[in-house]
Structure 1
Amino acid sequence: MTFGYAAFDLDGTLLGEDGTVDPVTLDGLRRLREHGLSLLVATGRSPYRLQQLGLRTEVLDLFEPLMLLRDGDIQWNWRTDAIESMRTVPDTVVPALLAWGFPDIVVDTGRGIVATSESAAARYARLYRCPRSSIAVSGRLPHSPALKVTVFGDRRDVVDALTGIDGCSIGPRKAGRCNVVPHGSCKTAGLARLMAERYAEPTLGRVVAFGDGDNDVCLLGSVGAGVAMADSHPGAARAASLRLRGTLAGYLNAGFPRGLEKIRRAGRRCRHAT
């Protein structure tokens, strides 16, 4: 079985610290295209946060029009700026959190980010390395659509506040906050839907994925072959078929597909896939 698709995480994988794709990596992406691979994006960013990067057209043109955003919850067409499908948390989540009295909440609607307080906006901007000016502050948080709700507070209180509300998942507490996302949010499940619907691929077996974060763990272990960056999250490194010793640019230009000879015959099915 040969690869037909390459799926890339952005932050920490394809992008440098300055939020750009360097020229050598760009050459590597062109090399994959020349070898017949279709290039896909699978990122945790929403359309709004991806557009903040200001990626050049020469970069975007290398990728398929439909990008998988917000960890698989959004299919966004970068050519038309259209959200073609989107999964959100239930409309009752934000009101329940506000009623509980959490002072610092941030909602990502896909087209903007709104915080309840200056403190929440500043903390969110630092955590996600986005401009503070890109986050609105308002006492009237949007209830819908809410792709991701970030709560700065105790996770146990968030669980209590959302008791009885189905259709959402509460992530672990990290750096003083936890995220509430649609139930089943996962890059693997989102990519499986996209591949089946748009490319008539019954499995992820012909996909090679590149990633580095804890939100890439499932994806790197479920595709035909997963490649983890040299400084990856430990879970991502364990799940991958190959962990790079050098740079992504070096591997794409001189190494790929070395180290992936024993690829899985078919992608392992993710527990979130339907």
Structure 2
Amino acid sequence: MTYKIAFFDLDGTLLDEEKTIPEDTIQAIRQLKSSGIEPVIATGRAPYFFQPIAEKLGIDSWVSLNGAYVVYKGEEVYQRTIPLTDLEKLVALSEELGHPLVFEGKANFYANREEHAHVFDAVASLKVKQPDVDADFWRTGEVYQVFLHCESHEEHAYPGGLPNLRFVRWHTKAMDVLTSTGSKAEGIDVLLSALGIKKEEAVAFGDGLNDKEMLQLVGLGIAMGNSHEELLPFADHVTTRVDEGGIRNGLAYAGLL
């Protein structure tokens, strides 16, 4: 199969544990671009979390916010926000259970509480600034995704009580909240259709629980050697760790380097 486009998760895939890009990854992405293959970031992060990373890699296309906001070469391709009625139910339930929320808009993100330890720990792990505080942003702004801050033993009440929403854990104290049909695969599918590229002609790299659908959608799904063990059954191939040449080795396996 001749592949025409490659999608890359960020944390644990393009970025190592220190949230830096290994030099061999930078060189591999440059070589990929020089061969005419389009690299696209596919991440749960919002654009304001990864703009410097994209610029360093020379990437101007992305499927962000777990498929909710898609940009191709600087132009918006797709947007999907969480309906107000679902946000209202989420806010009510989280208040009842005592769990803080962070609302992610297209241009900024806002916590509904001041200085909560769970929010601080989870956001700090991304090595980005802490959110501004606006408890009512969900009423007035467009919300693409929400961080729900609770521990794993506290999350059981949410899926059953909010069937229109999907919950994906990314930190011991945080989960992504998106629409029930939302995923990176949704945004990738829209972008591939817009570009006239078949799913079989795409490659994707990931390491986390929110990469399952993406790896299944494309022609070649590659899991990093440092992947969450639950992701591995969804991959066609497992490359080495991000800090052991994982991107370069995976691209070589795909015949792209």
- Give the match for residue 187 of structure 1: 184
- Give the match for residue 272 of structure 1: none
Give the structure-2-normalised TM-score: 0.81
- Alignment-mate amino acid for residue 89 of structure 1: I
CA deviation vs aligned residue, 1:29-65 (integer Å, no higher than 9, x gap): 12222333111111111122223xx2273412xx3x3
Whichever of the two has the greater Rg, that structure is: 1
Number of residue pairs matched by the alignment: 247
Higher RCO (CA < 8 A, seq sep 6+):
2
- Going from structure 1 to structure 2, the CA distance change for 1:92 and 1:249 (only over 3 Å counts) comes to same
- Alignment-mate amino acid for residue 175 of structure 1: T
- Going from structure 1 to structure 2, the CA distance change for 1:249 and 1:205 (only over 3 Å counts) comes to farther
- Alignment-mate amino acid for residue 193 of structure 1: V
- Alignment-mate amino acid for residue 110 of structure 2: V
- Going from structure 1 to structure 2, the CA distance change for 1:31 and 1:248 (only over 3 Å counts) comes to farther
Unaligned runs of 5+ in 1: 262-274
CA deviation vs aligned residue, 1:162-193 (integer Å, no higher than 9, x gap): 47xx5x33457973554431231111121111
Tell me, in whole angstroms, the C-alpha distance in 2 between the residues paired with 1:255 and 1:94: 39
- Give the match for residue 57 of structure 2: 59
**Secondary structure at 2:146's aligned position in 1?**
strand
Give the CA deviation at 1:207: 0.9
Deviates more, 1:30-39 or 1:3-12: 30-39
- Give the match for residue 208 of structure 2: 213
- Whichever structure has more helix as a proportion of its residues is 2
Deviates more, 1:140-149 or 1:183-192: 140-149
- Give the match for residue 13 of structure 2: 13
Deviates more, 1:247-256 or 1:145-154: 247-256
Q: Do the aligned residues in 2 keep the contact of 1:7 with 1:41 (CA within 8 Å)?
A: yes
Root mean square deviation of aligned Cα: 3.0
- Alignment-mate amino acid for residue 136 of structure 1: D
**Secondary structure at 2:245's aligned position in 1?**
helix
- Aligned-pair identity in percent equals 25
- Going from structure 1 to structure 2, the CA distance change for 1:75 and 1:96 (only over 3 Å counts) comes to same
- Give the match for residue 91 of structure 1: 84
Q: Do the aligned residues in 1 keep the contact of 2:222 with 2:250 (CA within 8 Å)?
A: no
